[in-house]
Amino acid sequence: MTVSSLEPTTLKAGFHALSDTLRLQILELLRSQEYCVCDLCNLLEVSQSKLSFHLKTLKDANLIQSRQEGRWMYYSLNLAQFALLEQYLADYRRFTTLRPATPCENP
């Protein structure tokens, strides 16, 4: 998947998922290792229901993935999606021309 093929909806979902403090904390934790929901609940001191809601947001945005093992559900980062969003931002730096405005035609 290339950056040029990025749907606006993909960007919207991805950046929205990143725009919440708790979700950023979840991602920070997952940087070191996989965690199951109950571990994340304990580490972040939030309710299981709340955590599931935010994990779903992150998963829908494709930023994390899940793997079931017995009754546990383990979550981990999907770095490919991070790279995609990173590339989108990088293209601003690479392919932007900071031209001054052509004077507005209004009176």
Residues within the interface to a copy of itself (CB under 8 A): 8, 11-13, 15-16, 18-21, 24, 27, 31-36, 38-39, 72, 74, 76-77, 79, 82-83, 85-86, 89-90, 92-93, 95-102, 104, 106
Q: Please tell me the distance from the alpha carbon of residue 78 to that of residue 46, in angstroms, as a whole number.
A: 23
Q: Which stretch binds DNA (CB under 7 A): 3-11, 25-33, 52-60, 82-90?
A: 52-60
Q: How far is the CB of 48 from DNA (least distance, A)?
A: 5
Identify whether the C-beta of residue 92 lies closer than 8 Å to the C-beta of residue 106: no
Report if residue 72 touches DNA, rule: CB under 7 A.
yes
Amino acid present at 38:
C
Residue 59, both tokens: 């998963």
Q: How far is the CB of 2 from a copy of itself (least distance, A)?
A: 17
- Bridge partners (DSSP) of residue 65 are 76
Q: Is 37 left (phi over 0), alpha (psi -120 to 50) or beta?
A: alpha
Q: Please tell me the distance from the alpha carbon of residue 30 to that of residue 32, in angstroms, as a whole number.
A: 5
User: Would you tell me which residues interact with DNA (CB under 7 A)?
Assistant: 16, 19-20, 22, 36-38, 41, 46-57, 66, 70-73, 104, 106-107
